[in-house]
Amino acid sequence: MSEEMMSEATTLFDNKVIFITGGTGSFGKQCVRTLLTYHRPKKIIVFSRDELKQYEMAQEFPQETLRFFLGDVRDGDRLKLAMRGVDYVIHAAALKHVPAAEYNPTECIKTNIYGASNVIDAALENSVTRVITLSTDKAAGPINLYGATKLASDKLFVAANNITSDCPTRFAVVRYGNVVGSRGSVVPYFQKLVRDRSPEIFITDPRMTRFWITLSQGVDLVLKSFARMQGGEIFVPKIPSMRITDLAEAIAPGIPSKIIGIRPGEKLHEVMCPQDEYHLTLEFSDHYVICPATQFRNIHSFTTNALGESGQPVEEGFQYSSDKNTQWIKAEELLEMLKSKS
């Protein structure tokens, strides 16, 4: 990347108002930390429904730049009010626990689909410049309700570029895999079993593989995607995979494993770029872009992004899956990732 492009990427958030839904979660806190450390935003608005987490986060980040808004993405009117004067939106709020979504489907739909639609409407009404939503590998060829709701959310955000008319708002999606050490991932669960001196480590299936990314890598990807986006892209990072058995051995060496079977809605392997969309997929140096299936306004090509980076079409039948990945995490690399967590 040239110095001019790098400058654009690093100054994009200077003197801007940034709005983060689900801002008290793992991603939101790391994003706030990164923005306050490396950028000069005018204001960061943390929007979430948990007043205790907001209070705790306010103690951790006492900067005057930070604002906290109580609210739920299910409440469209509250979103429209809270998003006034905002330049950029990061939509990180979601119900993410796969088994919980299987047993509480309507709640997951209300937050992940209706909430996504409310974020889009609020952004358009307030003429927000750029909006990025966080997606998941489970949205590619979903077999569980969580993945299905996130696929619907992805489709809503991509299609929102069709209804902007004269509004300056542009929408994009960032999709990645499991986050090392985040709440709800298998890593803290394995660590707890070790702390509790469990005689066994419980593994769903020894063949299972997953994509892994750190929190800081996820945040960096999202922030850089704001500079790269034209509108309508699904950004997918090139990140490593790890086998669940290798993960267990790295965290709990020497402890025998017990196979308990795949949980409701789980896959053996995850996919981030489906084979059925290979004709829409471009490969860049450190990421892929899944282009929208329909053409938007005056955007005729995504092969060169807003930073001037160039991509090439992938081969026919290409699929980016965790079991066929060319990058794999070794035990010592995972332990280094866990030391920093970010």
Query: Residues 300-307: what's their mean pLDDT?
Result: 90
> 307-335: string of b/e by CB count within 10 Å (b at 16+)?
bebebeebeeebbbbbeebeeebeeeebe
pLDDT of residue 114: 98
CA-CA-CA-CA torsion sign (137, 140, 143, 146):
positive
Q: Please confirm, yes or no, whether 138 is among the known catalytic residues.
A: yes
Pairing mode, if any, of strands 281-283 and 287-290?
A: antiparallel
Res. 342: pLDDT tops 60: no
Cα–Cα distance, 216 to 47 (Å, whole number): 20
109: its two tokens:
């739909």
Please compute the mean of the pLDDT values over residues 185-210 and round it to a whole number: 88
Check residue 181 and give its pLDDT: 66
Report pLDDT for 297. 65
- The arithmetic mean of pLDDT across residues 141-157, rounded, is 96
65 three-state secondary structure: coil
170, β-bridge pairs: 130
Q: What is the pLDDT of residue 10?
A: 67
Q: What angle do helix axes 26-38 and 215-228 make, rounded to 10 degrees?
A: 60
Model confidence band, residue 298 (pLDDT cutoffs 50, 70, 90): low
Number of H helices, E strands in the chain: 12, 17
Fold of 3-177+212-238+275-320: Rossmann fold (3.40.50)
* % of the chain beyond a pLDDT of 90: 75
Which is higher by pLDDT, 10 or 270?
270
Q: What are the beta bridge partners of residue 243?
A: 209
Query: With the C-alpha atoms ordered 95, 100, 101, 106, is the resulting torsion angle positive or negative?
Result: negative
Model confidence, pTM? 0.93
Kind and range of the H or E run holding 118: helix 115-125
Residue 235: Cβ within 10 Å count? 23
Give the separation between CA 113 and CA 61, rounded to whole angstroms: 31
Residue 272 has pLDDT above 90, yes or no: yes
Residue linked to tokens 């940034």: 18
List the catalytic residue out of 96, 138, 150, 224. 138
Where does the pLDDT of residue 335 fall: very low under 50, low under 70, confident under 90, or very high at 90 and above?
A: confident
Specify the length of the chain in residues.
342
The answer, yes or no, to whether residue 8 has pLDDT greater than 90, is no
Q: How many CA atoms lie within 13 A of 83 on its CB side?
A: 30
pLDDT given at position 9: 58
pLDDT class of 187 with cuts at 50, 70, 90: confident
Residue 242 pLDDT greater than 70, yes or no: yes
Which of the pair, 263 or 87, is modelled with greater confidence?
87
pLDDT, position 73: 98
Residues contacting 112, CB < 8 A, separation 6+: 94, 95, 146, 149, 150, 152, 153
Tens digit of each residue's pLDDT (9 = 90 or more) over 85-142: 999 999 999 999 888 999 999 999 999 999 999 999 999 999 999 999 999 999 999 9
Average pLDDT estimate for 283-306: 88
Query: Could you tell me the end-to-end alpha-carbon distance of the chain, in angstroms, rounded to an integer?
Result: 24
Residue 1 — very low, low, confident or very high, per pLDDT cuts 50/70/90?
A: very low
Quickly count: other Cβ atoms within 10 Å of residue 4's Cβ. Answer: 10
If residue 155 lies in a helix (H) or strand (E), which one and from where to where?
Answer: helix 145-159
The predicted pLDDT at position 338 comes to 77
d(CA 243, CA 3): 38
Q: Which amino acid is at 256?
A: P
Which segment of 15-24, 49-58, 189-198, 270-279 scores lowest on mean pLDDT? 189-198
How far is Cα 131 from Cα 119, in angstroms, rounded to an integer? 9
